[in-house]
A and B are shown apart, each in its own frame.
Chain A
């Protein structure tokens, strides 16, 4: 029972963190078809901005400035780089963002050094929210969860209830028609990209205070973000949320299980043979917990490529 509750709690919060980072990407990908490889690097940029400002001005100033700066960066990238490359195809866009990721990381390393920096949350946030089964639950995790849910709520409301949101959603399906109706489509694209980058930046500023902020932080998240977006469905906000939660819970639960294929085979009496063969068959689930999302992505892509909630082929 304890294992269940703790795992659910951990999984949900981890999932919400993933959502925070990938919310922006699913918008960009769904809307513009741009596989923004540099998305996790906007996350990193946000974290470093948060770090810089938390040392000079204050933690909350960092939280406000990070999305603004990341969003501005995103705007510049879209206007001057992606727009040029758009006509050459998806591969070129992807490779451009790949090069961009390198540049962002190296410039940050140039100014901040190669080691993780001490981006810490303010002391008054460093307490435990509650104690469950003898384990303390840090308040900051809840804070991250709240920020993630707030992000979801704001995005959802904007996309479904406001005029801007309607235009954005229409542009996802019928961009040419939207332009014909007189809307400034390039501006819409730029806005979406900037918003996506800003969300990543905010995620960085919030999460960077909890997780280590260092030059490798983007690489660690980089590929997982794609898994979330693909599994959830390109362009679907709800899908990204559900997929993030799924992955977070899955990782959380699988850590507790020492099952391996040989155990499953043991059910039909082939356990000892499997153990003798070794290798993949004795691989325990807890060991490869973090690799499972890719298997999930593979299965989703093969069975239902539109993802869980997506309906765009």
Chain B
């Protein structure tokens, strides 16, 4: 890794170590969830990004890891077994590895889209069977238990859980990264590029893919275990196709081609969901828009974008891009403001509360409240805001693109000069 990459990493670790101190328990919990999502995405990306195996049912191993850990925690709580809390994720890892080997052996007999469908089928089967098997999966309300303190560390508060999660996520990330440096990791890349050739070189590709898949699911199991420790409960909805699809999306938004991209995507989208779900009722619409826009315009993901800059430009050359990017940001904000205003206005105008207001005024279209101000739905000025905003953004877009292109060529010129 380059020197700047290494310093960046050290800085990140340092920040993560001291993060709980200034934050409220609520935000510490958010950080824990973001780290777990990041680990889930990183483990998924091992199968996907490295080995080209698009798995659509990774939530199965996430859930299995969580349930296994919860059962172990229950045993500890009931004094049947003495198992230190910090070592609980090992249960998740073991279960993830086991099922990864079994299901992976089945699934890796096929490639490409068929592989994805097999993993989807396996996960869906688990999802439909889990609520019926009450002794293992606890039915609708799932399994619930309590963390026990261990090794003189207090796990009753979120801070203890945070450091436990941080330790395991760091360890798993290092393992995953180290894996890419091993011959097997390199083999994964080769299998992705040209499986036929690898087979003719004498490797057992089916076995290799199974092992790689199992290692990926092992760390997914660890992520599931960490979720179980953080939430102290889970139920069968963890197996849903929604959860599987979420991790795929997070990986691609972050950038499947880079190592840290998926973790970044997972952290951002988890945070995004958490924040916007309380700000607006239409947050799923915005999330869908983010998915579509990222897929269309940033196919390498955010991580890919960052990596593009890091790889091709020298640090000083970036200054050519500050102005164009600033303009791009302005354009983006204008377009966003227009869209958000329209969506939220429609939402308010079609709501029941507004209907009450209208009835109180004899059915007239009275002004509605949005963002703390009043807007008149029939006045052209009201609609001038979003229309003007979007028009301004659209008008500035060609300029922004031109400037960006020019900035890039200048920056590249400086770098290669």
Contacts and interface: CB of A to CB of B under 8 A. Distances in A.
- A contacts B directly in the complex (CB < 8 Å)? yes
Interface of A: 33, 35, 81, 84-85, 88, 90-92, 95-96, 98-103, 105-107, 110-111, 113, 223, 226-227, 230, 278-280, 283, 287-288, 290-291, 294-295, 297-298, 301-302, 305
B122 interface: yes
B296 A81 contact: yes
A298 B121 contact: yes
Contacts of A99: 249, 287-292, 295
Contact of A102 (B120, B284, B296, B350): B284
A111 B343 CA distance: 10
Which of A84, A85, A99, A110 gathers the greatest number of chain B CB atoms within 10 Å? A99
A302 B106 contact: yes
Main secondary structure of the interface of B (DSSP, over half): helix
A88 B133 CA distance: 41
Contacts of B245: 98
A95 B249 contact: yes
Interface of B: 48, 54, 106, 109-110, 112-114, 116-118, 120-122, 124-125, 128-129, 132-136, 241, 245, 248-249, 252, 256, 282, 284-285, 287-292, 295-296, 299, 343, 346-347, 350
Contact of A294 (B125, B132, B248): B125
Main secondary structure of the interface of A (DSSP, over half): helix
A110 B282 contact: yes
Contacts of A278: 135
B291 A98 contact: yes
Contacts of A298: 118, 121-122, 125
A107 B285 contact: yes
A102 B287 contact: yes
Which of A33, A91, A101, A295 gathers the greatest number of chain B CB atoms within 10 Å? A91
Nearest to A282: B132
Contacts of B48: 91
Contact of B291 (A35, A91, A102): A102
Contacts of B106: 302
A90 B252 CA distance: 12
Contact of B135 (A92, A227, A279, A294): A279
B252 A91 contact: yes
A306 to B, nearest CB: 9
Contact of B128 (A81, A226, A294): A294
6 contacts: A35-B116, A96-B292, A102-B288, A279-B136, A291-B129, A298-B125
A201 to B, nearest CB: 20
Contacts of A291: 124-125, 128-129
Given A288-B132, A291-B128, A302 B109 contact: yes
Contacts of B132: 280, 283, 287-288
